[in-house]
Amino acid sequence: MVSQGRSSGGLCRLRGQPIILVDESLGTRDRIAVLAQALGSFDLDDVYLPPLVRVTIRSYGSTRMLEPRPLARAKPNRDDS
């Protein structure tokens, strides 16, 4: 999800593991939306979820996993010769 030109969170990978990030400044409804959208990309058929939770996740559909961005590299210290 994107609000005001910035990401509010979503599904990404960190060191090969899926992780869901949620902006802590979001309201409850927006947090639920980010989480439900991210969970929609997982196979949850064998996981018990209360019907309301399952319907909420399905209503937001699946999402694509965010592609990792390259990390910033520190410039080498020229004094380390």
Assessment of whether the complete model's pTM goes beyond 0.75: no
At 2 the pLDDT is: 46
- Concatenated DSSP letters of 5-65: TEE-EEEEEETTEEEEEE-TTS-HHHHHHHHHHHHTTS--TTS---HHHHHHHHHH---PP
Could you report the per-residue pLDDT of 24-61, keeping only the tens digit for each?
999 999 999 999 999 998 888 899 999 999 999 988 87
On average, the pLDDT of the chain sits at: 79
